[in-house]
Structure 1
C-alpha cells in the first residue's frame, strides 16, 4: 500500500507509519488551505481534508492522509481546547478521526485569543525552543504521558479504520 502524507512534519509522518508499518509512506509538503492556527473543529477538519486531498493528487498513492491540529472553544465544559483531526481519502471516500482533546490553561488561551499561535506561545510560556515541533501541547500538559505522535496515531487510526476493515 502506498500512502501520501500531506506534511513533511516528522511527528505526523511517524504517526502514519505507526498505524501502517508495512505501507510505503511519502511525505508531501502541501498547503492546508486554513490559517497557521486553525480555530474551531470545522476549520481544523477542513485543513486535514485539504491536506489529504492535496497529498493524494500530488502522487500516485492509493491513499492521502491529512493531519491538522487546532484550538476550539467549548461552552461545556468551557475553555479553549487543543483539538487534532486526521482525514484519509482514496479519492472517492474520505473518513475522519479525532485525537485526544485537552483544555489549555487560561493564560495560554488568552494569548491565542489575542492572535498568537500555540507553538510560539508554548515556547515562550515554558522558556523552551521548538516545543511545538517536539512534544507539543499534548506532551506538555500530560507531563509526557501522551506524546504528540501518540495523540496523532489515534486520529490517523480512526480515519483509516473504515478503509482497513
Structure 2
C-alpha cells in the first residue's frame, strides 16, 4: 500500500506509519486551504479533508491522508480545546476520524483566542522550538503520557478503518 501524507511534519508521518507499519509512506507538502490555526470543528475537518485530497493528487498513491489540529471553544465543559482530525481518501470516498481532545490552560488559551497559533505560543511559553514537531501540546499537557504522534494515530486509525475492514460493512 502506498500512502501520501499531506504534510512534511515528521510527527504526522509517524502517526500514519504507526497505523500502517507495512505501507510506503510519502510525506508531501500541500496547502490545507484553511487558516494556520484552524478554529472550530468545521474548519479543522476541512483542513484534514483538503490535505488528504491534495496529497492523493500529487502522485500515484493508493490513499491520501490529511491531518489537522485545531482549537474549539466549548461551553460544556467550558474552555478552549485542542482537537485533531484525520481524513483518508482513495479518490472515490473520504472517511474521517478524530483524536483525543484536551482543554488548553487559561494563559495559552487567551493567547490563542487573541489570534496566536498554538505551536508558536507553546514554543514561546516553554522557551523551546518546534514543540509541534515533537510531543505537541497533547504531550505537554499530559506530562508525556500521550504524545502528539499517538494522539494523531488514533485519528488516522479511525479514518482508515472503513478502508481496512473486510466485513462488508
TM above 0.5, one fold? Answer: yes
Listed as ranges, the gaps of 5+ residues in structure 2 are none
CA distance in 2, matches of 1:17, 1:129: 24
The aligned counterpart of 2:53 is: 53
CA distance in 2, matches of 1:43, 1:78: 20
Residue correspondence of structure 1 range 109-120 to structure 2 within 5 A:
109-120=109-120
The aligned counterpart of 2:105 is: 105
The aligned counterpart of 1:81 is: 81
The aligned counterpart of 2:20 is: 20
CA distance in 1, matches of 2:61, 2:129: 35
The aligned counterpart of 2:67 is: 67
Listed as ranges, the gaps of 5+ residues in structure 1 are none
Please state how far the C-alpha of 1:133 moved relative to its aligned partner: 1.7
TM (norm. structure 1) is: 0.98
CA distance in 2, matches of 1:25, 1:7: 11
Please state how far the C-alpha of 1:68 moved relative to its aligned partner: 0.3
The aligned counterpart of 2:157 is: 157
Matched, 1:30 2:30: yes
Paired residue total: 165
Runs of 4+ in 1 over 4 A off after TM superposition: none
Please state how far the C-alpha of 1:129 moved relative to its aligned partner: 2.1
The aligned counterpart of 2:136 is: 136
Please state how far the C-alpha of 1:106 moved relative to its aligned partner: 1.0
Comparing 128-137 and 39-48, the one that deviates more: 128-137
CA distance in 2, matches of 1:130, 1:81: 20
CA distance in 2, matches of 1:54, 1:99: 21
| Structure 1 residue matching 2:78: 3-state secondary structure | coil
The aligned counterpart of 2:43 is: 43
Please state how far the C-alpha of 1:120 moved relative to its aligned partner: 1.1
The aligned counterpart of 2:9 is: 9
CA distance in 2, matches of 1:130, 1:67: 17
